[in-house]
Amino acid sequence: MNWKPGAGIGQIQARAALLCKLRQFFAERGILEVETPLLCDSGATDPAIEPLMVERGASLHRPRYLQTSPEYAMKRLLAAYGEPIFQIGKAFRDGEAGTRHNPEFTLLEWYRPGFGQHQLMDEVADLVRLCLGERPLQKRSYRQLFLESLGIDPFTASIGELEAVAREHLDPGPLSGDRNLWLDLLMSHSIEPQLAVLGMCFVYDYPASQAALSCLVPVDDVIVGQRFELYVDGVELANGYFELTDADEQRQRFEQDNLRRREYGLSERPLDERLLAAMSHGLPSCSGVALGVDRLLMLVTGALDIREVLAFDWERS
């Protein structure tokens, strides 16, 4: 049995230096560091995210979920105090292991009351430049990328048209599915590889069906979810939202997630009633973002595999 760490001492030192730099960045901006539980009563309802669970223990009256993100608990703090906050901590997602994924990973998440999504994008860019050096900032709307790269409008194209374009550029085999399946396939296999040449690129204003926990707003002739993703040298690094604050709308989205989970043959997830109660109390207008620290460290050190920057990856833990 190999007991040794997978990361060299240089990587361990680079992680320590990066964590220090991140905390200094937020300290200089007056953003408070917080800590929230890893084990939670409720897991994410998103069908694309599977949590790890702890099912047995003297303290457990029912199974608890290892957090896939500290988002829900941090929003409860926002509702209580309204202060800008950040957190660096562990998150867990089942079934995600590979060159850029580990089921246990380090996540940086922060929230900015009073910020719109573009203001938060600019702050994320400041942090990335601090860690990686000066580089130009690119912004592309989701719609713009599809039109420029594939000549198709992701908001108005039919499912059949999206499938036809996917089959023209890819070989998905006998695959079938809804419009989000084809949009995700085209984004991940046709568009994302092209983003590497753009350096630091934000993609924003996603289809309403992919809004997740973001606000929906009209833009031109369509409704978009005010969310963004950041790609740096082709690596997906961060995911942010102009946050939904309406508790009733949030409950409906959770219930729609569970409906899709049933359709996909997945177990339903309990709704986070504490989050919904906090939102009913009043969540301030804000934007929030989650950034993968391990991936950022890969970019800092030039590592090509996430296991190079983890002292003990999933197979060594």
Longest dimension (CA), the chain: 60
Q: What is the pLDDT of residues 275-316, one digit of tens each?
A: 999 999 999 999 999 999 999 999 999 999 999 999 999 999
Is residue 70 classed as helix, strand or coil in its secondary structure? coil
Please, are residues 127 and 151 in contact by the beta-carbon 8 Å criterion?
no
pLDDT digits (tens, 9 = 90+) for 126-161: 999 999 999 889 999 999 999 999 999 999 999 999
| Distance between CA atoms of residues 115 and 107, nearest Å | 21
**Lookup: tokens for 97:** 């292991």
Model pTM score: 0.95
Output the six-digit token pair for 228: 């963004």
Residue with tokens 């320590």: 16
Report CA Rg, the chain.
20
Mind giving me the DSSP string for 3-55? -S-SS-HHHHHHHHHHHHHHHHHHHHTTPEE----SEES-----TT----EE-
Residue among 241, 227, 17 at smallest CA distance from 130: 17
The predicted structure's pLDDT at residue 177:
81
Cα separation, 114 vs 250, in Å, equals: 20
What dihedral angle (degrees, nearest 10) is formed by the CA atoms of 160, 165, 169, 173?
0
Task: Tell me if 37 sits within 8 A of 275, measured CB to CB.
Answer: no
| Termini Cα distance of the chain | 12
Residue type, 4: K
- What does the alpha-carbon distance between residue 103 and residue 95 come to, in Å, rounded to a whole number? 7
The residue extents of the domains of the chain are: 9-136+239-308
CA atoms within 13 A on the CB side of 131: 32
| CA 171 remoteness from chain centre | 27
Of the candidate CATH numbers 3.40.50.2300, 3.30.930.10, 3.40.640.10, 3.40.50.300, the domain formed by 9-136+239-308 belongs to: 3.30.930.10
Q: To the nearest 10°, the Cα dihedral for 8, 10, 13, 19?
A: -90
The count of C-alpha atoms lying within 13 angstroms of the C-alpha of 235, restricted to the half-sphere facing its C-beta, is 22
| pLDDT per residue rounded down to tens, the chain (317 residues) | 689 999 999 999 999 999 999 999 999 999 999 999 999 998 899 998 999 999 888 888 888 999 999 999 999 999 999 999 999 999 999 987 789 999 999 999 999 999 999 999 999 999 999 999 998 899 999 999 999 999 999 999 999 999 999 999 888 888 888 889 999 999 999 999 999 999 999 999 999 999 999 999 999 999 999 999 999 999 999 999 999 999 999 999 999 999 999 988 998 999 999 999 999 999 999 999 999 999 999 999 999 999 999 999 999 98
Distance CA 216, CA 242 (A): 9
Tokens 């989650």 correspond to 290
Distance, CA of 198 to CA of 189 (rounded, Å): 16
